[in-house]
Structure 1
């Protein structure tokens, strides 16, 4: 992970970055291990690993339906 990406993920992009394993080139286990070693803020980690995807995919019940 480039340092610029880590800085941006901790600040401007903290609600935009999503987990992605790049499977089959990188296994999810490897990605998670490498992610855990980064200097990502504690409050940003759950956003990247889960919360941002929930929001992006409207799994939190906030999706609007057209009538």
Structure 2
């Protein structure tokens, strides 16, 4: 099974993204994303029924707060 996710819609700030779509944005595999989430080192999610979903705004904010500036 391929880890490639085809985005059907644009990843606008108001659209809820799946774990696979979020992983793709972050440039990691869905399995790596699951591991990071379990360790508490992943963008905050919103629960929709039994599913977890992420917004692009939360992903971008998490990236900004976890980016290390190197010289």
Q: Which TM-score bucket, shorter chain as reference?
A: under 0.3
Normalised to the residue count of structure 1, the TM-score between the two structures is: 0.25
- Greater strand share, structure number: 2
Normalised to the residue count of structure 2, the TM-score between the two structures is: 0.25
Greater relative contact order (CA < 8 Å, ≥ 6 in sequence): 1
- Greater helix share, structure number: 1
Larger-gyration structure (1/2): 1
